[in-house]
């Protein structure tokens, strides 16, 4: 009888170390976006809350796509806990600035993964990172636009609400056919 506790053995390359760390980063981003959404919900700003709830689901799906890739490549996956998230803010612009900074950090992390894959001549993994790099360009652009709108709105946060209600910003809920497969299916 096989021992089910036996874990898969694989070499831990720099790429796979970064990939495992990125699973943590994506889950942490999802939790941070939930915290932002709840803050906006508490402030009776439903469009901003909806936007960040959707962002949270998107980040969760990204984490699970990374998990699926590791499973597909026969690598052991560890599902990490998340770090502390920030919950205290004094103005909506702080939350959007935090979100933009978070997206820039994720872009740098994904770039580091792509560099590691290339350096290791792991072209399959390098190709895998390409969708995530493209996604980060979109995420940073959209969050930058939202920050610009928030700065122009100043104290009138309802202008941001009107903008989000009127414009398609972020995940529209439609599945991206080019997105890598998501473990358990995308939400």
Going by the annotation, the residues of the binding site for Fe cation are: 26, 59, 62, 103, 136
Radius of gyration of the chain (CA): 18
CA torsion angle for 141, 117, 81, 170 (degrees, to 10)? 20
Both tokens of residue 166?
Answer: 């009127």
What does each C-alpha distance from 51 to 28, 33, 104, 127 come to in angstroms? 17, 9, 18, 29
Q: Which residues are annotated as a binding site?
A: 26, 59, 62, 103, 136
């Amino acid at each position: 009888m096989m021992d089910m506790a036996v874990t898969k053995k694989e070499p831990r390359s720099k790429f796979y170390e970064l990939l495992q760390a990125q699973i943590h980063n994506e889950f942490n981003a999802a939790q941070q976006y939930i915290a932002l959404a709840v803050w906006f919900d508490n402030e009776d700003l439903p469009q901003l809350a909806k936007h960040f709830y959707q962002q949270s689901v998107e980040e969760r799906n990204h984490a699970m796509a990374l998990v699926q890739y590791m499973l597909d490549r026969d690598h052991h996956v560890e599902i990490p806990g998340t770090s502390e998230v920030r919950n205290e803010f004094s103005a909506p612009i702080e939350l959007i600035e935090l979100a933009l900074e978070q997206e820039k950090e994720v872009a740098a992390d994904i770039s580091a993964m792509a560099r590691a894959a290339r350096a290791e001549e792991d072209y399959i993994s390098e190709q895998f990172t390409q969708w995530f790099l493209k996604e980060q360009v979109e995420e940073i652009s959209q969050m930058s636009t939202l920050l610009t709108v928030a700065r122009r709105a100043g104290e009138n946060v309802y202008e941001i609400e009107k903008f989000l209600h009127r414009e398609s910003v972020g995940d529209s809920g439609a599945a991206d056919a080019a997105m890598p497969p998501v473990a358990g299916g995308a939400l």
